């Protein structure tokens, strides 16, 4: 990988009342250096800004260069928000995994949907998964020097020939050497295994989990946990690939296999260690484990325990529900059909409020060609097709994870505003359980679209916020 020039960091926001506001920073300014060092990314920025005395070189939005001296408390944040977490560009992926979501999309959509990242910095900052096959020695050295841990690693298989087959990259064969390096440096990872029937399942899956468990046995385990997730396929995937969908029978087989290993790990390691994504149980048509099973939810980003955690959080938030609301209100809550059964208790509780009628509409995605779909993969076209001839009541409750971060754009490039106009009904975006409850409990007046307006603190590339294999696996 060739070196990429470090660009000045583009500032898009200044926190009110912060040091940055006090000294006059404005959106559009660009941060060039801190005490003479050019930060490559948000990691460097945070490290360099920890000092008590800072000399900042800034390129103003007027294209003039300024030098700003700041004295502050150690580790006090400046209050700057950046366009991207990476100032020197994205480390792109050179693997050709047949199950990669990026390659399972139709052409012609927004450019950011096709970015293939394999960047350890996004893994450290935001928990996105990387393969470790795209790192230069300089990056390995930086991980060790700056103690960037834990990282999140797509392992898939520990047998060299199997992993190389999956990633279509001979460098993938070095995964056990990579894990030994983390162990020698006393650094940690969370591992992910995407199960592709006929390739890395069965005896290969058992070998992988047993190998990973060997790195969990010290005071600072190199592998903290492992998640086992089913491969997700769409109708747009290349027809020449060798993948087959996970069947109900395969899901039941994998659950039984991993649960046997979980009992062994509990006895040997004192932890379940290897975790099954919720989707396995939904595919198999069996009940989810109890909430107590998930310990401290080490693999929540892979949809391991996300349903039970959502139900627990709802129970807590539901205490704020009134006994009745007036005037009466009818709402439609749209989710993926993967969670239809699990979320029935939520709908039942909401409808105990006198004057409130909540209808859950659980959809599969015709757009992706799936019979079972997690909520985050539903598109505007899916919603328009399913809701256009349905009485949706006063408003639609729309989970924000269907949308591009900090925007109102679905995966098919339709916007919430376009969908609202087509359906001629207000759409309420809900970001979490608390907001779901608030929306249901608040008065029905002034129903309007409210775009997501969270601070820009995450990377601008969508591949870094879940539009990869992870996006398939959790609701």
Dihedral (C-alpha) 120, 124, 127, 128: value to the nearest 10 degrees?
Answer: -10
Does one domain contain both 169 and 278? yes
Q: What is the pLDDT of residues 91-106, one digit of tens each?
A: 877 877 777 766 666 7
Same domain? 117 vs 196: yes
Q: Is 334 found in the same domain as 247?
A: no
Taken in order 431, 432, 438, 444, the sign of the CA dihedral is positive
Res. 447 pLDDT band, cuts 50 70 90: very low
CA distances from 74 to 20, 42, 49, 125, 300 (A): 15, 17, 9, 21, 33
394 burial (CB, 10 Å; 0-12 / 13-18 / 19+) is middle
What total of structural domains would you count in the chain?
3
Which among 304, 321, 340 is the end of a domain? 304
Over residues 389-431, the pLDDT tens digits come to 999 999 999 999 999 877 889 989 899 999 999 999 999 999 9
pLDDT tens digits, 190-237: 999 999 999 999 999 999 999 999 999 878 999 999 999 999 877 766
Statement to judge: residues 272 and 185 lie in one domain = yes
Pairing outcome for strands 395-399 and 324-336: parallel
Has residue 95 been placed in a domain? no
CATH (domain of 412)? 3.40.50
pLDDT confidence tier of residue 71, bands split at 50, 70 and 90: very high
Report yes or no on 397 lying in a domain: yes
255-260 CB contacts, 8 Å cutoff, 24+ apart: 255/280, 255/281, 255/284, 255/286, 257/202, 257/205, 257/206, 258/205, 258/209, 258/228
Calculate what percentage of the chain has a pLDDT beyond 70. 87
Residue 455 lies in a domain: no
The pLDDT of residue 176: 98
Question: Which is higher by pLDDT, 361 or 405?
Answer: 361
E strand spans, 173-287: 189-195, 223-230, 274-276
Q: Are residues 116 and 209 in the same domain?
A: yes
pLDDT of residue 383: 96
- Who contacts 407 (Cβ-Cβ below 8 Å, separation ≥6)? 451, 452
Among positive and negative, which fits the CA dihedral 279, 280, 286, 290? negative
| Same domain, yes or no: 49 and 197 | no
The range of the structural domain enclosing residue 327 comes to: 312-441
What is the domain-level CATH number for residue 148?
3.20.20
Q: Cβ distance 120 to 139 under 8 Å?
A: yes
Determine what percent of the chain is predicted with pLDDT higher than 90: 73
Question: Which pLDDT value is given to residue 346?
Answer: 96
Domain boundary pick from 276, 304, 332: 304
Q: Does residue 259 sit in helix, strand or coil?
A: helix
**How confident is the model at residue 235, as a pLDDT?**
73
Domain boundary residue, one of 248, 276, 304: 304
| CATH number of the domain to which 50 belongs | 2.30.42.10
Residue 430 lies inside a defined structural domain of this protein: yes
Same domain, yes or no: 215 and 291: yes
Are residues 330 and 294 both part of a single domain?
no
Q: Which stretches does DSSP call E strand in 130-222?
A: 151-154, 189-195
Tell me which of 90 and 308 has the higher pLDDT.
308
| 170/211 same-domain check | yes
Q: From residue 119, give the alpha-carbon distance in Å to each of 8, 47, 105.
A: 19, 19, 21
Q: Is residue 57's pLDDT more than 70?
A: yes
Tokens 């385990």: give the residue: 221
State residue 102's pLDDT score. Answer: 67
What is the pLDDT at residue 415?
94
Q: Which two tokens stand for residue 246?
A: 């996970």
| 278 and 372 housed in the same domain | no
Mean pLDDT confidence for 336-364 = 94
The mean pLDDT of the chain is 88
Question: pLDDT by residue (tens digit) across 293-335?
Answer: 999 999 998 899 999 999 999 999 999 999 999 999 999 999 9
469 inside domain:
no
CB 155 within 8 A of CB 175: yes
In a domain, 461, yes or no: no
402/110 Cα distance (integer angstroms): 15
Q: Does residue 390 lie in a domain region?
A: yes
Give the separation between CA 359 and CA 351, rounded to whole angstroms: 9
| CA distance to 215, 280, 400, 401, 428, per residue, from 450 (Å) | 47, 34, 11, 15, 7
pLDDT of residue 229: 95
Same domain, 278 and 337: no
Whether residue 350 is found in the same domain as residue 294: no
**pLDDT category, 469, cuts 50, 70, 90?**
very low
Placement of tokens 């900090």 in the chain: 406
Is 125 among the domain residues? Answer: yes
- Does residue 48 carry a pLDDT above 60? yes
With a CB cutoff of 8 Å and minimum separation 6, the contacts of 84 are 10, 459, 460, 461
By mean pLDDT, which of 234-243, 370-379, 401-410 is the weakest?
A: 234-243
**Chain segment 245-268, per-residue pLDDT in tens:** 899 999 999 999 999 999 999 999
């Amino acid at each position: 990988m060739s070196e990429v020039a470090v660009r000045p960091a583009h500032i898009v926001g200044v926190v009110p009342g912060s040091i940055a506001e006090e000294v006059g920073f404005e959106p559009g300014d660009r941060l060039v250096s801190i005490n003479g060092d050019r930060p490559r990314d948000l990691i460097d920025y945070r490290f360099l800004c920890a000092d008590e005395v800072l000399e900042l070189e800034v390129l103003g939005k007027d294209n003039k260069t300024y030098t700003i001296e700041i004295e502050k408390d150690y580790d006090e944040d400046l209050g700057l928000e950046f366009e991207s977490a990476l100032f020197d560009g994205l480390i792109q992926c050179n693997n050709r995994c047949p199950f990669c979501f990026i390659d399972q999309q139709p052409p012609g959509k927004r450019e950011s949907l096709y970015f293939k990242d394999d960047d350890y910095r996004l893994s450290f900052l935001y928990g996105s998964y990387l393969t470790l096959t795209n790192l230069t020695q300089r990056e390995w050295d930086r991980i060790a020097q700056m103690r960037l841990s834990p990282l999140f690693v797509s392992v898939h298989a520990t047998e060299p020939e199997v992993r190389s087959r999956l990633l279509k990259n001979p460098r993938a064969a070095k995964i056990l050497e990579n894990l030994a390096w983390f162990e020698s440096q006393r650094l940690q990872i969370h591992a992910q295994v995407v199960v592709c029937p006929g390739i890395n399942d069965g005896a290969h899956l058992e070998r992988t989990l047993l190998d990973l468990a060997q790195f969990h046995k010290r005071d600072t385990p190199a592998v903290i946990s492992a998640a086992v997730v089913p491969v997700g396929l769409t109708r747009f995937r290349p027809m020449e690939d060798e993948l087959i969908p996970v069947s109900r029978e395969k899901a039941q087989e994998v659950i039984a296999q991993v649960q046997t290993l979980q009992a062994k790990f509990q006895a040997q390691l004192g932890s379940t260690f290897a975790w099954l994504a919720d989707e396995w149980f939904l595919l198999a048509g069996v009940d989810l484990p109890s909430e107590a099973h998930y310990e401290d939810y080490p693999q929540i980003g892979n949809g391991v325990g996300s349903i039970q955690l959502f139900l627990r959080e709802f129970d807590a938030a539901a205490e704020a529900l009134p006994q009745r609301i007036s005037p009466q209100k009818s709402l439609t809550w749209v989710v993926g059909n993967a969670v239809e059964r699990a979320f029935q208790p939520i709908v039942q509780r909401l409808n105990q409020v006198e004057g409130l009628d909540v209808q859950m509409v659980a959809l599969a995605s015709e757009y992706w060609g799936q019979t079972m779909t997690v909520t985050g993969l539903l598109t505007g076209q899916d919603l328009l097709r399913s809701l256009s001839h349905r009485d949706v009541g006063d408003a639609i409750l729309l989970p924000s994870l269907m949308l591009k971060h900090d925007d109102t754009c679905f995966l098919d490039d339709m916007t919430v505003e376009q969908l609202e106009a087509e359906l001629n009904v207000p759409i309420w975006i809900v970001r979490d359980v608390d907001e779901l409850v608030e929306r249901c409990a608040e008065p029905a007046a002034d129903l309007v679209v409210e775009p997501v307006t969270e601070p820009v603190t995450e990377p601008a590339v969508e591949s870094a916020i879940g539009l990869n294999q992870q996006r398939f696996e959790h609701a």
